[in-house]
Structure 1
């Protein structure tokens, strides 16, 4: 209780201090302690977040692979250098490479071994030989040995050429699902029920002392509980470098708005306000697609004095691995000063998959020439240049820095812009597509930066108005709801890439971050869609166009919708290992009707009528009592007779009927609506379990969230009796845990997006908030400092898996209900 009181006092103090600034007091401050704070949010492969409470306490990291994207901010006030952004990361060098870098030889078994199988002298001669990483080939492209059983034990013999006991050594590991890792028989980590990629942990003293020059053994066990399997491991070692920026600013507040993250610092007798802005206006496609964010600042001081600001980035921003060879430079053009970096290889669209980044194209920082100096060189050299110190003898690295100087007399403002030119963004059925901002091939990144600076004032005014209006409007449904949606806004949008198809279609292609890296996954589109339906139905069409094309072109010939169109950024056809026939067909039909309702016109459905008919007929045949197949909650595995999936099929058929009605096809409408309503009545009898409805038709005593019912309410379909929804809500309120409503009766985990949909099933605001507040509490208290996870435990502040996914766009379902209700 006392901790909570103190937290509240500190929050109020932070708000009061932040309120001293007009730019920070324009709207309602977000009191949520974000699991991670969005800083740069451009696209799936160019998104950087801060996983710490104070911006200077840890490195800025890539949002899905957790690797550092070194970005440092320092302000000189008087004679003191205050670091307010990032850390002087000591570079980690590869001591023993993992499988992402190159394959590694190992011995493995899929049967429980006897004896101490982790010990260096264990006899593994009867084990199989293979190469790491180990994983399912279908959905883990970094796998070198196909692992398809539920359990695996792996031993990797390594040779060290030096003594490392006096150095900091880290285990770098990846696992899906539960895993244990050992160094020379010493347990280093036991992950518990979780998944993770590109994790690092410092070796404990015993493990470190066990490492010796010559032969050593890394060992691991992994249990794949369902879906994908993956196991990888290696070692990294810290290189000692001199540090120049040891004094930290004092952070006074952090505030996540929909388009900005604002920080306030005390730096000696000066205050520094810093804003990271991504002007992601969903009704302005060229600005939405412009691959540039702002880092702006404002310094206030009680006395007139000189200040200097220093912004440093590493080539990592344009690389997949920091060990890749890069080239950096600085130059001037049309009144702007740039620093630029990129890989030497420049293999356009040459890398795909999850937990990887672009290593083609170029990363930029830019500032106005009148106020900016550019530096490129080793970390030691450019830091020494800024501080007037002596450079350490370290020629490695081609760091980038911008320095801005000014004299503050009351207030001093400035800015830099950060951007990325990926040259080509997506391969779409064999054709390389440029990003939307350069869809004609006639633009260049310098022109985009010039516009970004020319339009800065007007853009920031629009951002102020949007953020202020957003927080006020959303807060009508509760402070917690507004704060969650503010954090979800950039996360959902940045998980997509906007391009134009050769036929002129708008394509808004998602990357399934921290799952399997699929591109354009339909059951990721489905939960993400409310955000785009609410703000711009044209973008909602962009989420569907490629799936329609896939079927209508004949490239996909099955009588149901595809799961995806490839592995990001290669969209040449489905690569996921299993189909989800009822799931994806229902998703496509429901979302097509949702678009028609948002626009008040079914012309879009008319364009795709033949394939919609095929999918609707499939659902008529297979949808009422689904056979043993995956649904969007595929992490729970296959199971038959899924009552919630049946709801989706029935509402998909109803959606087709209502679309036919909007198009004047009355006979077709009457037929399919009658089928849907008859199926709805059968569903009620099959699923009824007294005071609630079952998880599966054949298992009494079970239950699940029937989140798919939300469309029946929002779109006024009247397929299911309202009493079903009301009975379910009443039952759910008895099943909640501290951090939310479990997904179903089998596990304590849940999906936060589905909980927010379930909340909308409630007719009264207090019940809605009863579902929202535990999710807010989880995000505020979770120990996992990553962009919001949608797969979380409800009885402890741990995520089960997933992060940085677009599905948090589903949080906007409450706003979508209001939009449809006002029509």
Structure 2
């Protein structure tokens, strides 16, 4: 029988009712709020489709924890389609509830052997997305089932943040006043373990510290290598606490699921291993018999993890993940992760409330909704490692070049870390600074990245890379100042002096929006460089070098006056480039001036520019510049934050990105590059740059 994952997914409109073979059908009804403490009036949002709170995501984060643990639902309904890696490759997860002997699907699109009736489907009534959680509510057979995907974010807690694990929690209750016999089954396929379905995997089951763990591992791992952006080495874990009623089984997908439907898994692993992922599609199955259910049950909590040692390499040295400094084995880490599940949910609930309430104050309900969608994606582009006994963090340039710790990807992502965890931002900057100081980087300006292909930070000691001299040097100075990071003074001063010589009128250079091409005399790039010179004055002051602080601040003030003259067109707006009259572009780099409290840009210039943007607004936003109709969501929110004192402009940028997210037919993890007319993805997805959505919140941490 052909596996259902090879069949095309049913076409579903976002406001359509969804029905699949034998299903009870799916209808949507609004019933829950973004934050547990919010009132109905506060959370009401008529723009969100019925049943989705606080927005309809283009793709809903499920297990989104690291560059290689990143599984999403690229649609509206948990039952009826497969979950997938951020690339779109299927990473199958199946959920089946047996209620009074009848089997209902609540996750995935599983098939059964020919001749057997199709599964029925639970009815989905609600989807709630918070900054750390995605919660689905479904019902069938008199039972309501709540399925919560929790990928913890732990600001200030490196130990917990280092664990590459995510929770799936199931809770059932009767909704008709009657008791019902219920069992819940969940599995994941070996597709989670490798990007090539022809690769062979092995599997295992073991119990440690009261936790049962099933696992997949590639039989011929490619250490520090990728296949289709997925890691070719490491172990996928599927774990839960041992308890009465729990059973497990590893084997062919339809065999294991038939056992679950029949009433109990065998507690055995298929001996035919290793074998190819596509050879009878092995799965890791867990089943919990809840018995007679009337009131709400205790949650059935499963964790999924992707564990790799080493995690990355730096200049030829393999670096272990940071979690290895806290736990002697991954089994002990998983055990602790499960014993911490209740407390983790409480911590993340408090974080959800904080982010939501802060975001509402900063930019309203729609802004809070965007923050809810962006947080996990921003953090999941990064991971913690240990080098010479000290923590470092690396970032993957997901879905564009795949580079290691690209500075102009760190830069747009920076606001989320500046708001929630400046220490984490500091750890992300550390490898970049180390390489420039001691790693062999040969040029006077900052490097673009640490290596062309994640997870190998091989450097560019020959100087052959995608140079962005003003861009990256300025980005580094601004981020160091935002993180209030100390040390590294000599290299920072070197970059600042490069900017003094080159930033006021940049030559023909590449810059972060490299898809638009090289540009000379760029007004926006010059603005970034000037603000960065001002940032160096703050770095110098923090280092106790008052003479340098005065020197760089004086230059920044002198340059900004010259910049205003060079950049302003005869009509009053700021040009795209000094030598291009009649042009314009988003001056999103004004945000850094506001973030650092430098106040270099005259208020009148900011206000005039904001009014200009409103006059050039399309249905889904103001384009990045006059040459194209696309924009970037991160830069749109940076611009909104620069315009924070002008609510009509600020709110327009927020509203437009919200409308794009909730209307786009591009069902991919939050894209940052999209067309402002059609609301279609123009490129990129799942990138950590959506940390830029937090720009308005980062202003709360400014000096």
TM-score, with structure 2 as normaliser = 0.88
**Rounded Cα–Cα distance in structure 2 between residues aligned with 1:380 and 1:267:** 22
Q: What is aligned with 1:695?
A: 576
Q: What is aligned with 2:414?
A: 529
Q: What is aligned with 1:300?
A: 173
- Cα deviation for residue 692 of structure 1 reads 0.7
Pairing 1:564–2:441 present: no
**Rounded Cα–Cα distance in structure 2 between residues aligned with 1:287 and 1:337:** 20
Pairing 1:38–2:53 present: no
* Aligned pair partner of 1:283 in 156, 164, 167: 156
Q: What is aligned with 1:315?
A: 190
- The size of the alignment, in residue pairs, is 652
Q: Is the 8 A contact 1:779 1:788 kept in 2?
A: yes
Q: Is the 8 A contact 1:691 1:731 kept in 2?
A: no
Q: Is the 8 A contact 1:315 1:326 kept in 2?
A: yes
Write the deviation string for residues 760-792 of structure 1: whole angstroms up to 9, x where unpaired.
Answer: 122133331111001000000111111100001
- Cα deviation for residue 71 of structure 1 reads 0.5
CA gap of 1:89–1:529, structure 2 versus 1, over 3 A, is: farther
CA gap of 1:12–1:695, structure 2 versus 1, over 3 A, is: farther
Farther off after superposition, 23-32 or 658-667: 23-32
Q: What is aligned with 1:424?
A: 310
* Aligned pair partner of 1:404 in 277, 288, 295: 288
CA gap of 1:790–1:500, structure 2 versus 1, over 3 A, is: same
Higher strand share: 1
- SS at the partner of 1:55? coil
Two-structure CA RMSD over aligned residues (Å): 2.8
Q: What is aligned with 1:327?
A: 202
CA gap of 1:299–1:290, structure 2 versus 1, over 3 A, is: same
Q: Is the 8 A contact 1:620 1:653 kept in 2?
A: yes
Pairing 1:640–2:524 present: no
1:145-294 → structure 2 map (5 Å cutoff) = 246-294=119-167
**Rounded Cα–Cα distance in structure 1 between residues aligned with 2:688 and 2:466:** 21
- Cα deviation for residue 526 of structure 1 reads 0.5
- Cα deviation for residue 395 of structure 1 reads 6.9
Write the deviation string for residues 360-391 of structure 1: whole angstroms up to 9, x where unpaired.
Answer: 11111112222421111111211221223999
**Rounded Cα–Cα distance in structure 1 between residues aligned with 2:464 and 2:568:** 34
* Aligned pair partner of 1:618 in 498, 502, 509: 498
Q: Is the 8 A contact 2:169 2:302 kept in 1?
A: yes
- Cα deviation for residue 576 of structure 1 reads 7.6
**Rounded Cα–Cα distance in structure 2 between residues aligned with 1:45 and 1:728:** 41
* Largest Rg, 1 or 2: 1
Q: What is aligned with 2:357?
A: 472
Pairing 1:72–2:94 present: yes
Q: What is aligned with 1:591?
A: 479
Pairing 1:777–2:654 present: no
- SS at the partner of 2:29? helix
Q: What is aligned with 1:751?
A: 632
Pairing 1:482–2:372 present: no
Pairing 1:582–2:466 present: no
1:50-199 → structure 2 map (5 Å cutoff) = 50-63=73-86, 65-88=87-110
1:684-723 → structure 2 map (5 Å cutoff) = 684-689=564-569, 690-723=571-604
Q: Is the 8 A contact 2:168 2:303 kept in 1?
A: yes
- Cα deviation for residue 474 of structure 1 reads 1.4
**Rounded Cα–Cα distance in structure 2 between residues aligned with 1:717 and 1:429:** 37
- Cα deviation for residue 5 of structure 1 reads 11
Write the deviation string for residues 256-309 of structure 1: whole angstroms up to 9, x where unpaired.
Answer: 111110000011211101100111112211111112211111111121121111
Farther off after superposition, 712-721 or 677-686: 712-721
Pairing 1:543–2:417 present: no
Q: What is aligned with 1:374?
A: 248
**Rounded Cα–Cα distance in structure 2 between residues aligned with 1:719 and 1:743:** 23
Write the deviation string for residues 203-248 of structure 1: whole angstroms up to 9, x where unpaired.
Answer: xxxxxxxxxxxxxxxxxxxxxxxxxxxxxxxxxxxxx978775211
* Aligned pair partner of 2:216 in 328, 336, 341: 341
- Could you tell me which runs of 5 or more consecutive residues in structure 2 were left unpaired when the two chains were aligned: 1-12, 18-25, 44-51, 266-271, 273-277
**Rounded Cα–Cα distance in structure 2 between residues aligned with 1:82 and 1:512:** 39
Farther off after superposition, 681-690 or 653-662: 653-662
**Rounded Cα–Cα distance in structure 2 between residues aligned with 1:285 and 1:395:** 40
Write the deviation string for residues 390-427 of structure 1: whole angstroms up to 9, x where unpaired.
Answer: 99x99723221111111212222322121121121111
- Cα deviation for residue 23 of structure 1 reads 11
TM-score, with structure 1 as normaliser = 0.76
Q: Is the 8 A contact 2:129 2:373 kept in 1?
A: yes
Q: What is aligned with 1:683?
A: 563
Q: What is aligned with 1:737?
A: 618
**Rounded Cα–Cα distance in structure 2 between residues aligned with 1:672 and 1:807:** 29
Q: Is the 8 A contact 1:337 1:372 kept in 2?
A: no
Q: Is the 8 A contact 1:74 1:81 kept in 2?
A: yes
CA gap of 1:767–1:390, structure 2 versus 1, over 3 A, is: closer
